[in-house]
Amino acid sequence: MKYLKFSFLSLLLIAFSACAQKDTSITPSSYYYDYEMVVDGLQIPWGIAFLPDGSMLITEKSGELIHFKDGKKVAVSGVPEVYVRGQGGLLDIVLHPDYKNNGWIYITYSSSEGEGDGGNTAIMRAQLSENKLTNKEVLYKASPNTTKGQHFGSRIAFDNEGYLYFSAGERGERDINPQNITRDNGKIYRLNDDGSIPNDNPFVGQNNAKTAIYSYGHRNPQGLILHPETGEIWEHEHGPMGGDEINIIKKGANYGWPVVTYGKNYNGTSITSETSKPGIEEPIYYWVPSIAPSGMAFITSDKYPNLKGNLLVGSLKFQYLELDILEGEKVVKREKLFEDLGRFRDVRQAPDGYIYAAVEGKGIIKLIEVKTTKTEK
């Protein structure tokens, strides 16, 4: 048996953490869930969007956009050239809230366009015609390029006023990018739906600022979603070794990376002793150890009464789908679904009320709730 030795300082830190955040150790789900394989044979499905006819668009990180309709996978042509390196590739995909009338599709991807070798995160909009992307417009491209392979982000969300948000990770330049509003990366951006900069963005008029920035001090955000009741934008991001976070995104706010963090360097050394500071937004929840969160969905569907009102988050590291049970803005309980099924890259509630998830090395699955509890079984 191995025994752990704690210093007095360690015990103080543990006590402080217990006061700062309720212990929410993850447990198996109280209910049985099964799944139906809907789209198989996918490698790294990154994002899912549901078209009005019930078909879906799926991004593969490798650069392929797939239209799945009537049981068949069709490759969409006209996809932008993608800089595939490390965590970079073809990333998120979201429809415009008024897609039925304007047909706009929004895609984030790693692009080599612009200054310097390598690539950086870009967002474009396009329309779909006979399985081809047309009327393509690059709305924003982070710069400069770098050959580093980490921390591209990137997720997309619209708010209730029609503003477009997207995330870009700090590209492995933690001491240069996230705290500097004159540089891209480590940011959440807000645009009008045509790519123009809203006049009331927080850094409009500031000397040399990147005026598309809405919030800063982020590490690698791979979850971004509209809260269905409050209208707030919720985000989650990867910490280093520990310190993954859930944040509510506020105008002009600093989320701290790397000035404050609950994580450590991957070699176990300290990044900073600070977990909070005046003027820096604290996360509403943080994970230690890291789960490597990817994808996020608020569940509003009556098809899943035991999930309704709560949050689903994919875990890349531990290969499960996490249910975060909420009381207001607090995570009060965590449960894991589909343990060891695979790396959950994305999770979405479709317009028909069913939940779909993208699992690496498998494909797109549809969640099915079995009408019994484990104790009853």
The residue among 333, 370, 366 whose CA lies nearest residue 23 is 333
Residue 204 DSSP SS3: coil
Residues with active-site annotation:
151
Contact 239, 213 (CB under 8 A): no
Q: Which contiguous run of DSSP H or E holds residue 14?
A: helix 8-20
CA distance 74 to 71: 10
CA distances from 293 to 24, 198, 206, 265 (A): 16, 30, 33, 18
**Long-range Cβ contact pairs of 133-137 (< 8 A, separation 24 or more):** 133/65, 133/76, 133/77, 133/78, 133/79, 133/80, 133/105, 134/78, 136/78, 136/80, 137/194, 137/195
DSSP 153-187: ---EEE-TT--EEEEE--TT-TTTSTT-TTS-SSE
